[in-house]
Structure 1
Amino acid sequence: MVKILVSLGSNIYSKQNIDRARRMLAHYFPDVVFTPSIITTATDEKYSFPFRNVLAVFYSDLPSEEIVQKLKMIEFAMGRQPRDKDTGKVIIDIDLLQYGDEILRPDDYERAYVQALLTRLIS
């Protein structure tokens, strides 16, 4: 079993969409633990609405590719479209940040909100 760290973000009906994504993740990964959510403002001007962000941690024997596939299935089931980010609309964004000891998205991992939420996982 390897430790998995996932980030979730939404800026459209964010509370409902984050809650729905949590339930869907818990369906696939029953041992998942979530941080409380925080509200952040995007640095990119195309995002006019604030984001709700959450981290999730769970353990799995699945290869990282299969985990990413499940995350993308959740995004698709929630109605995410590839063109949405271009219009500043993020129904749900779920990213695999860490797989075991490997940081897969170092730029995302270093974001202030991720680092702030990581302290909520440790405590």
Structure 2
Amino acid sequence: MVYTICIGSNEQQKDNLALARRRLKELFPDICFAEEEETKPLCCKRTAPFANQVARFRSDCPAEEVNALLKAIEREAGRKPEEKAREIIRLDIDLLACDTTVFKPEDMQREYVRRGLSQLER
């Protein structure tokens, strides 16, 4: 199965995205990353910019297992539920799609995601 994910952070962006990439490479050695892109916050009052990156990899693991691994990486980066209210997103790794099943259709339409996908399809 081919998985498409998006990584995002608005707190210590460089360090947290580097941690995510390192862990993801360990779990999914064939992973390919689009270029990292800085974006303005979409749903936050907090003005800190986000660093975002789209990635794609293959895995025989079911989507639920992949998602659990992604959430474990978020926790490793120090993500805590209580910080969400303060709009601090240390690391967010969203499972966007698996093969032709789209889990986050709204996210898939975002310009930075579309640009990342086009880079990965080259």
The TM-score by the shorter chain falls in which range? over 0.9
- d(CA) in 2 for partners of 1:44 and 1:68? 22
Using the TM superposition, give the Cα deviation of residue 48 of structure 1 relative to its aligned residue in structure 2, in angstroms.
Answer: 1.7
Task: Spell out, residue by residue over 1:24-64, the C-alpha distance to the aligned partner (whole angstroms, 9 max, x if none).
Answer: 11111111111110100013342320000001100011000
- d(CA) in 2 for partners of 1:44 and 1:73? 24
Q: How does 1:3-82 map to 2 (within 5 A)?
A: 3-82=2-81
Q: Report if the CA contact (8 A) 1:46-1:86 is conserved.
A: no
Using the TM superposition, give the Cα deviation of residue 13 of structure 1 relative to its aligned residue in structure 2, in angstroms.
Answer: 1.1
Aligned length: 122
Using the TM superposition, give the Cα deviation of residue 120 of structure 1 relative to its aligned residue in structure 2, in angstroms.
Answer: 1.3
Structure 2 unaligned blocks of 5 or more:
none
- d(CA) in 2 for partners of 1:53 and 1:93? 9
The root-mean-square deviation of aligned C-alpha atoms, in Å, is 1.0
In structure 2, the partner of 1:122 is 121
In structure 2, the partner of 1:111 is 110
Amino acid at match of 2:48: F
Q: Percent identity?
A: 37
Which runs of at least 4 in structure 1 moved beyond 4 Å after TM superposition?
A: none
- d(CA) in 2 for partners of 1:28 and 1:43? 30
Task: Spell out, residue by residue over 1:46-90, the C-alpha distance to the aligned partner (whole angstroms, 9 max, x if none).
Answer: 232000000110001100000000001111111101122221111
- d(CA) in 2 for partners of 1:66 and 1:45? 29
Q: Report if the CA contact (8 A) 1:33-1:56 is conserved.
A: yes
Q: Secondary structure at the match of 2:72?
A: helix
Provide the TM-score with structure 2 as the length reference.
0.95
Structure 1 unaligned blocks of 5 or more:
none
